[in-house]
């Protein structure tokens, strides 16, 4: 006898578990298949534990610079790398238990094992001891996420050449590290290790670090990284790595020619690969394109009853995107009338120091799209709160359409800006204009005042610069 559900979700990451909870709220009998820890990579090996590590490094940084704030600290201040890792794993573990609680609260079944989709709205789950079971559902959402991508000539061995997962659980802190890739993952780990005393070299193939960000933001973050002693190599690519000796010899192609670097650890952070192997797409008739599952605006595949969300479909590979996709998908399944996700209004955050947060078009993208624009910029050097907090690095930059006042883009770099970007997201969603931002009273003194001041700068009304 087949076990039957109205909805089965394959994967319990931020797309899968959110989809399952929303489905349960809407009255669907729901189960989730998970082969590892509840919460997926994001909660267990990504977003959450990395932020715990970054917080530890941030506390250490403030203690080292305590005298800047009129505080005298006696004795040597040293990072305890093992304790940082231990705390990070405890945070992840507690969050995973939280997902367990939410599933129980919402009556969601948990099926342990590895799933493969079958024709006829069925899945096969292989559990411990290779035991298999067949389940049937009216609707099946595939939310299997992704893993670290490997570069040719840079095969990860888990010891000397590692991915983000191993970077969170090293036995000891390396004296030196070469990080390949300067997106959010690469930049965050580079900042973490450099802050606690590892000498980091950051290698980026494109001309600027955090290459998807506005050009001015990229330049500011590079200056901040260099100021802390990090070596930055842009327009460069790793061609090979020799791990036969005590040190790894890395051959890097740079704009000036080839260079050989020696390092203790190489961290490959060059993107992700969707987890689609063995999932059964071909047997079921589900189509893919360039390694991603093809779906419509409500995440329906070409085969009725099968859906896909998160890192395995086109769109930004971000936890909050997967969650939003999951909610949209199940609301459509449940007969509601959800609005398709606006991928042009999705925020991106990088939790370095200073932090980076953005939404919408960069200045270059707006100009290339043919807009006549107004650009406003407010530096944190002119912010009372930033000066009081000792967080003068960075700025807020806003871009408006000169004709109608539409808020085209927002680009923040500075202390705590990942908490500030939601104002721009909400305002853009509500079609707020530049003048409406200027006339919205912001509290003083706050970092968020910089948003109002930047908008005012775009219209020649700025007060404090």
Q: Kindly list the catalytic residues.
A: 444
> Given strand 265-268, what is the order of strands in its sheet?
161-162, 265-268, 176-180, 199-203, 231-233
E strand segments, 91-246: 109-112, 114-118, 122-126, 132-142, 146-148, 161-162, 176-180, 199-203, 231-233, 237-242
Would strands 114-118 and 122-126 be described as parallel, antiparallel, or unpaired? Answer: antiparallel
Sequence-separated (6 or more) residues with CB below 8 Å from residue 95: 39, 43, 44, 48
Burial class (CB in 10 A: 0-12, 13-18, 19+), 333: buried
Strand partners, 433: 406
Alpha-carbon distance values, 144 to 20, 87, 308 (Å): 14, 27, 9
CA distance 79 to 327: 41
Strand partners, 9: 32, 141
Neighbour tally for 11: CB within 10 Å: 31
Residue 146: which of 260, 285, 314 has the closest Cα? Answer: 314
CA distance 197 to 193: 6
Contact by Cβ (8 Å): 307, 139:
yes
Would strands 199-203 and 176-180 be described as parallel, antiparallel, or unpaired? Answer: parallel
Q: What is the DSSP string of 102-116?
A: HHHHTT-EEEESEEE
Residue 452: which of 418, 427, 415 has the closest Cα? Answer: 427
């Amino acid at each position: 006898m087949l076990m039957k559900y109205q909805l089965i979700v394959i994967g319990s990451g931020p797309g899968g578990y959110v989809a399952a909870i929303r489905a349960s709220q809407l009255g669907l009998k729901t189960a989730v298949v998970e082969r590892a820890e509840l919460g997926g990579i994001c909660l267990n090996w990504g977003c959450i534990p990395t932020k715990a590590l970054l917080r530890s490094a941030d506390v250490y940084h403030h203690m080292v610079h305590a005298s800047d704030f009129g505080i005298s600290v006696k004795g040597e201040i040293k990072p305890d790398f093992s304790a940082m890792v231990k705390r990070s794993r405890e945070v992840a573990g507690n969050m995973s238990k939280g997902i367990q609680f939410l599933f129980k609260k919402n009556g969601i079944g948990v099926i342990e094992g590895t799933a493969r989709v079958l024709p006829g709205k069925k899945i096969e789950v292989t559990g411990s001891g290779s035991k298999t079971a067949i389940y049937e559902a009216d609707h099946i959402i595939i939310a299997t996420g992704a893993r670290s991508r490997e570069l040719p000539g840079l095969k990860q061995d888990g010891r000397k050449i590692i991915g983000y997962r191993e970077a969170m659980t090293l036995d000891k802190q390396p004296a030196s590290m070469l990080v390949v890739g300067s997106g959010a993952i690469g930049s965050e780990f580079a900042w973490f290790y450099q802050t606690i005393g590892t000498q980091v070299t950051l290698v980026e193939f494109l001309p600027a670090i955090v290459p998807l960000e506005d050009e001015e933001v990229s330049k500011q973050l590079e200056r901040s990284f260099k100021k802390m002693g990090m070596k930055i190599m842009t327009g460069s690519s790793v061609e090979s790595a020799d791990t036969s000796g005590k040190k790894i010899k890395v051959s890097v192609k740079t704009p000036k020619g080839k260079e050989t670097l020696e390092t203790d650890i190489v961290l490959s952070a060059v993107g992700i690969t969707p987890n689609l192997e063995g999932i059964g797409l071909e047997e079921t008739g589900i189509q893919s394109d360039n390694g991603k599952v093809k779906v419509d605006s409500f995440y329906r595949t070409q085969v009725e009853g099968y859906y896909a969300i998160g890192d395995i479909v086109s769109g930004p590979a971000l936890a909050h995107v997967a969650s939003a996709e999951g909610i949209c998908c199940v609301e459509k399944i449940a007969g509601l009338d959800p609005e398709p996700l606006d991928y042009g209004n999705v925020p991106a955050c990088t939790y370095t120091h200073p932090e980076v947060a953005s939404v919408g078009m960069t200045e270059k993208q707006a100009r290339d799209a043919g807009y006549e624009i107004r650009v406003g910029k407010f530096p944190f050097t002119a912010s009372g709160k930033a000066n009081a907090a000792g967080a003068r690095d960075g700025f807020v930059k806003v871009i408006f359409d000169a004709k109608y006042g539409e808020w085209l883009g927002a680009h923040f770099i500075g202390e705590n800006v990942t908490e500030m970007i939601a104002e721009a997201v909400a305002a853009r969603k509500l079609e707020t204009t530049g003048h409406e931002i200027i006339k919205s009273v912001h509290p003083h003194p706050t970092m968020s005042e910089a948003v109002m001041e930047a908008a005012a700068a775009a219209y020649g009304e700025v007060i404090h610069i």
